[in-house]
Amino acid sequence: MRTKSKAISVNPKIRPVKKTTISDEIVEQIMGFIESGELQPGQRLPSERDLCVQFGTGRSSLREALRCLSIVGVLQSRVGDGTTVAVNSGKFLGKIFQWRLITEQQNIENLMQVRIALEGLTAANVAINGTAEDLRSLKVLLEQMKASLNDRTKFSTLDLEFHIALAKASGNSLAMDLISMIRGQLARTLNRVLVLPNARPLSLDEHLRIVGRIRDRDAEGARKAMDIHLNAALERYRKRIAIDNTSNESGTTSKTTVDKATRPKKRSTKRKAA
């Protein structure tokens, strides 16, 4: 039987709301209590009636504020258990980051630069702290990537899994969350890069070097190998953009252009005259 979490008592620091945007101030105050530690993950909020009295506001404004915080993952509501502060902050962080990417149209190259800095750190950490099981998991993913060289979609999925597994093995949960979000946002765009000639074999070789340095417990070598890999991926992205731009200017589709570049030349069947 699940034990209900204890609600916080009436908080004397809650101020009656006076602003026009009532729900916004309620959100601001609740976020402030979480930031200060007065509200802890898993802790239940007072009832709606008590909160309305403390905030000096109507139930509709309060519900709007609680609903907004629930949508982004700061709060969670369960029937019979009231509203509590979410235990897992990953959903909240992800929603905010995703919204920023959508609204501000972040430059792909900027995201890649952030990724290079973060993943260099995780690769070095795994070289220092990675377990034998971590290495086995990375080796399995590399073998699967090798077997999927002719399947662009599957290779891309495994590539993502490799980087997430590496971040997880680093032991830095915040770095893992950030890398998961950045890599996830880049996945669709960078998947197009794998159409380029030799992109998948080159990428596989770069991953092999990273794991090689990790296996040798060479933290600086692992960081450099990751840096080389991600900079090479960025350069391949630039080449793909150049192909797309050329295709648009000439009126042809980028797929046709890339297919022509990747298609092996047909060998002539005509015999040369003796």
SS3 93: helix
What string of pLDDT tens digits covers the 274 residues of the chain? 455 555 555 566 676 665 557 888 999 999 999 888 888 888 999 999 999 999 999 999 999 999 988 887 888 888 777 899 988 766 666 666 666 666 554 567 788 888 899 999 999 999 999 999 999 999 999 999 999 999 998 999 999 899 999 999 999 888 887 887 777 667 766 777 888 889 999 999 999 999 999 999 999 999 999 999 999 998 988 888 888 888 777 665 444 445 444 444 444 444 444 3
Model pLDDT, residue 261: 44
Q: Are 145 and 241 in contact (CB under 8 A)?
A: no
What 178-182 contacts at long range (C-beta under 8 Å, 24+ apart), as own/partner pairs, is 178/114, 178/118, 179/115, 179/118, 179/119, 179/122, 180/94, 181/93, 181/94, 181/97, 181/98, 182/111, 182/114, 182/115, 182/118
Q: What token pair was written down for 199?
A: 């992109």
Dihedral sign (CA 141, 137, 120, 225)? negative
Residue 101 is predicted with a pLDDT of 62
What pLDDT digit, counting tens, does each position of 12-45 carry?
A: 667 666 555 788 899 999 999 988 888 888 899 9
Token pair 């029937």: residue: 79
All structural domains of the chain:
22-88 (1.10.10.10), 93-251 (1.20.120.530)
Closest residue by Cα to residue 83 from 5, 14, 143, 160: 5
Q: In the prediction, which pLDDT does 22 show?
A: 86
